[in-house]
Structure 1
């Protein structure tokens, strides 16, 4: 079973979205630089903090990406962790999904690609880098 590990929301104003989620929910923000597309990481939970009692690992964290004029489906979405992104892409297509481009490398993180499910929802998947021994 491949778990949901991350969420993503687009933004038009980075400072405004950081301020909103920090003030409204107390999330901690880490702003990344130009080399990472001005992405903002959001930490939504800490070990030992409140979470759904039925959640195996508590809550997930996420991030915010800058809205781009030429990108499709810039809406809130989730990221699913997969072991093999190429195999997962074949499964998505075989199940009736539509890939939104080719995987992109996120330095120090892994391979990432978005897709639409059969209901036209935008979802993404990530093959994380293997930890070095």
Structure 2
């Protein structure tokens, strides 16, 4: 059976990042790391014990939060792919719409958002170093 592309990350928009970080820390015990303007004021969210390659527990995922922006004001999931350009072609061929050009995220990989045939916003990530074992 061919390897499936797993969900490896989630993203949620915020209006107030300090308020958002405090909520998820208090409500769920998540650990947040606020990045600076050079990273778009992104906030990393660790939801499970993690190592260098992400969560240690199979099936667990971490996530992040970004400022609300047009066409990105709903929760999103990130799907790991082997090669982002090839995956972009597959998404387009299946009826999805690629939203912009892939961008390099330092220390993470190549990332590009898209919408599926139902208008849901998702993203694809080609991690640095290739796909991780067990999809985490």
- Would you say same fold, with TM above 0.5? yes
Which residue number corresponds to residue 101 of structure 1?
100
Match for residue 48 of structure 2 among 41, 45, 55: 45
Shift of 1:108: 1.8
Match of 2:23 among 7, 20, 23: 20
Q: Which runs of no fewer than 5 residues in structure 1 stay unpaired?
A: 48-55
Residue pairs, 1:45-84, within 5 angstroms: 45-46=48-49, 57-68=58-69, 71-84=70-83
Q: How many residues align?
A: 121
What is the deviation of 1:126? Answer: 0.5
RMSD in angstroms over aligned alpha carbons? 1.5
CA distance in 2, matches of 1:58, 1:4: 9
Q: Aligned partners of 2:95 and 2:60: how far apart in 1? A: 29
- For 2:34 and 2:7, the matched residues in 1 are separated by 22
Q: Name structure 2 gaps, 5 residues minimum.
A: 51-56, 131-136
The CA deviation string for residues 52-101 of structure 1, in whole angstroms up to 9 with x for no partner, is xxxx7042110001123xx3232101000111000000000000101111
Q: 2:80, 2:88 → 1: CA distance?
A: 12
Structure 1 CA distance for aligned equivalents of residues 77 and 38 of structure 2: 22
